[in-house]
Amino acid sequence: MGMTGFTTQVGRSLWRIILAMVMLAVATPSSAGEFLHLISFSGFDYESDGSGGTDPTPDSLLAVGDTYEVLGIVHAFGGELEALADFGSYQYTVVLSGLTVVHRSSYLYFMNAVMAPGRMDVDRDPLAGGTAADFGVDPRGAARASFTDGELVLSAPVTEFNLTFNQSTHDGIWDSSAEADAGSWLGELLPTLCTMSSAGQIGIAGVEVPGGYGHAVEGVYTRVCGFPVRPETWGGLKSLYR
């Protein structure tokens, strides 16, 4: 095996270790506390100039000054939100927006981007008479509008957003804080001393990515109480995001 092949194997092995460690840190239920998915969604990410324009640095993934955004469709609600959802009458969408890169670093194949605060909005739109969410071919135009033209049911400022990406295997993860502060469902969230967060996987294998987008994404909005300490299998960790 040549040095290049050896380095690639080491890089991929290190990436799996890092990914598992991060997932264990932010996404594993434990006897020491509660970890509850309130919202599970999937969709696609893209970069923009922060003002609705195209990515100003198309040859560089998440350069400083680029804005990272996600359009997603909700597949499940949990906790107290489960009883509020009516998938027979409404479509529910998620938009992560305004996350501008303020720091970017890299090591071997790994890139880490730290974002300025953005926002996560969850909307619902009637299936009868509403506008169905359509990823289309340009997330910056009519496609994005079809995800935001309904009733805002939950909204949260997204802070401490960190994204780590393996530029060899083309996948990664993000995690952030996201304490809800608006939306028609806000009063339904049970008061707790727990923290709220958003996390997800980037570069989901086997999913065709529409033109204009970067990667397939699966994400969750969660309530975390206590500190996760229980060991978990890699397969179990991935299942948390499905």
For every residue of 132-176, DSSP letters joined together read -----S-TTTHHHHTTTSSEEEEEEEEEEEEEEEETTTTEEEEEE
| Distance separating alpha carbons of residues 155 and 183, to the nearest angstrom | 6
More confident residue, 117 or 236: 117
Integer-rounded Cα Rg, in Å, for the chain is 18
- 1-5, 122-126, 220-224: segment of lowest average pLDDT: 1-5
pLDDT value for 24: 43
- 47-56, 72-81, 139-148: segment of lowest average pLDDT: 47-56
| Distance separating alpha carbons of residues 105 and 10, to the nearest angstrom | 19
| Token pair in block for residue 170 | 């083309």
pLDDT at 10 over 70: no
* Mean predicted confidence (pLDDT) in 29-35: 53
pLDDT digit string, tens, across residues 168-199:
999 999 999 999 999 999 999 887 778 899 99
For every residue of 166-229, DSSP letters joined together read ETTTTEEEEEEE----BSTTGGGSPP-S-EEEEEEEES-TT-PPPTT---EEEEEEEEEES---
> Looking at the 3D structure of the chain, how many domains does it have?
1
Band (pLDDT 50/70/90 cuts) for residue 137 is confident
* Mean predicted confidence (pLDDT) in 57-80: 91
User: What range defines the domain where residue 122 resides?
Assistant: 3-239
What's the pTM value of the predicted model, to 2 decimals? 0.80
pLDDT at 148 over 60: yes
Nearest to 69 by CA among 90, 48, 93, 91: 48
Band (pLDDT 50/70/90 cuts) for residue 33 is low
- Of 148-152, 193-197, 228-232, which has the strongest mean pLDDT? 148-152
Question: If you average pLDDT over every residue of the chain, what do you get?
Answer: 82
pLDDT at 17 over 80: no
Residue for token pair 């699966």: 218
